[in-house]
Chains A and B, each alone.
Chain A
């Protein structure tokens, strides 16, 4: 059997993901893919492999894993407690895991979606050309305890590196541009929308997330007689009672509620990772400004490898500090911990 990762235990909402499955809109299938695509680029930079590699997305909580052989891993996205054979390891970093070692990923500290990457990517079955699970379309399934996740051939060697992730785990400013139905909302409503402090509502999933707020609702003219029209991830849909819902990557391909605008792809990560109750505010950009912001974000993602640095050991994070021969000076300040 090929190299694989054995799943000893797993949270209720973990699935294999990738950058999605474009090209099927005309047959009713949205792109899908990871909730935080930036995390996929970060993991790929840490392991020096393609961002299209399949990863394990863990919503809310992680799991316990055992490697069948020595593998490289990277941990990105929502920050979670992680350890290898009981020794805690850094998030937003790459590590080596020996054959038979136990990788534990536990409670989530910040954000909603954490990612486990392996060198070579997960080599699970593909559906319609890619491996990412699209639950609302019935493609793939959630990962269960006892699963053995096959791992592709790892052509890389580097581990023990880290990067400083783009800040995106606690809500904040979300930039959007006007979309095809924005003109159904008058100027006063649009201004009020951009001045309102929203909180991420507990009602949300991979299809859409409700925005909670205090105050008058955001009604459009002619809200009830709109013809169903194409929807895309990032659309801010205003439902019949005037509440905004942000459509996420597994949204349907059409929808009958008007959209006040569309969030830039580079800021949709922030909505996905915003914890329940966190503050979100929407900032309207012109199409030209939005396009420039997104182009810069794309450039940052393609240059991420340059910001990957070797891990420096932080003494306070070494749990078995007393077992080291500190006096003789035989410890390196730059080696990969927990190799």
Chain B
């Protein structure tokens, strides 16, 4: 019965989240346009500077607005949000300007990222082809979550739709580039994971002692440039900022 109800669902949907806020969801499944809509809508609401909104956050397919619903009535805010939703086709909205493109030197494979060969084989690619796929696809920060600053990046070509492994790898180090379901994660801390470890970087997505502890924002783009083991070691020896030798440019 619930499945029938879901078939009738239409998007976008605006709903309350406990007494903590209101969420605008653009799709029932992850898609590139829905993610773009969530990021663009979050930026548009930010520009409105509505006093009731304490913070906003874009997740994979939604924009969440934190509003104290024990203070503010939800109905008038939902009405205003509905007007903004109806004002354009958010699924074809342009991403906001001023985002950052990051080029991150990455050591693919070797003992520092031991699951590249396994992942390549599952994707039906040679190791060389795999490095080309993983280093030339321009990835977007779909959302940040799970751990502080941790990006979910998409989207790799269809043959990289690898399931998570059934066994958890007990520990991959901070800066590890891991993949599953056509996405990358870049871990800010040493962490256990079910995603496959294909690259090593010196890029830390959470830098608690820095003036800019969170370098990434949803909508930023990342390219993982392959470097040799010798180049990687050289970068590690000179860049202790958490940037791992990354270069940036502002996207217009």
Could you tell me which A residues sit within 8 Å of B by CB distance?
A: 22-29, 127-128, 137-139, 176-180, 183-186, 220-222, 225, 227-230, 232, 234-235, 252-254, 261-265, 287, 290-292, 294-295, 298
Contacts and interface: CB of A to CB of B under 8 A. Distances in A.
Contacts of B128: none
Interface in B1-51: 1-3, 5-6, 15-21, 23, 25, 27-30, 42
B74 interface: yes
Interface stretch (B87-95, B98-106, B113-121, B139-147): B139-147
Among A23, A24, A26, A220, max chain B CB count under 10 A is at: A26
Contact of B16 (A137, A179, A263): A179
B19 A29 contact: no
Given A264-B19, A294-B70, A295-B71, A254 B145 contact: yes
Contact of B208 (A128, A178, A220): A128
B138 interface: no
Contacts of B144: 26-28, 253
A225 to B, nearest CB: 8
A230 B57 contact: yes
B218 interface: yes
22 contacts: A23-B54, A24-B55, A24-B214, A25-B57, A25-B66, A26-B217, A27-B144, A27-B217, A29-B149, A138-B208, A177-B18, A179-B18, A186-B1, A221-B1, A221-B3, A225-B29, A229-B59, A234-B18, A254-B59, A262-B20, A290-B70, A295-B71
Given A227-B30, A252-B147, A292-B70, 10 more contacts: A24-B148, A25-B57, A29-B149, A138-B148, A179-B15, A179-B18, A180-B23, A232-B17, A263-B18, A291-B70
A186 B143 CA distance: 30
A222 B5 CA distance: 11
Among B29, B74, B143, max chain A CB count under 10 A is at: B143
Nearest to A188: B1
Given A222-B6, A232-B18, A253-B146, A127 B208 contact: yes
Contact of A262 (B18, B30, B73, B217): B18
A253 B71 contact: no
B23 A28 contact: no
Contacts of B17: 179-180, 230, 232, 262
B58 interface: yes
Contacts of A230: 17, 23, 57, 59, 62, 64
Among A180, A184, A264, A294, max chain B CB count under 10 A is at: A180
Given A26-B58, A128-B208, A262-B19, A221 B2 contact: yes
Contact of A287 (B16, B143, B189): B16
Among B54, B62, B189, max chain A CB count under 10 A is at: B62
B157 interface: no
Contacts of A180: 15-17, 23, 25
Interface of B: 1-3, 5-6, 15-21, 23, 25, 27-30, 42, 54-62, 64, 66, 69-71, 73-74, 143-150, 189, 206, 208, 213-214, 216-218
A27 B2 contact: no
B15 to A, nearest CB: 4
B141 to A, nearest CB: 11
B208 A254 contact: no
A203 B218 CA distance: 33
Nearest to A220: B2
Nearest to A252: B146
A28 B56 CA distance: 12
Contacts of A183: 5
Interface of B is mostly: loop
A26 B19 contact: no
A228 B59 contact: yes
A189 to B, nearest CB: 9
Nearest to B21: A232
Contacts of A138: 148, 189, 206, 208
* 5 residue pairs, one from A and one from B, having the closest CB atoms: A221-B2, A262-B18, A294-B70, A254-B145, A27-B214
Contacts of A23: 54-55
A29 B62 contact: no
A275 B148 CA distance: 30
Nearest to B31: A227
Given A127-B208, A230-B57, A295 B18 contact: no
Contacts of B27: 227
Contacts of A24: 55, 148, 214
Given A26-B55, A139-B208, A227 B5 contact: no
Contacts of A261: 18
A127 B207 CA distance: 11
A180 B150 CA distance: 24
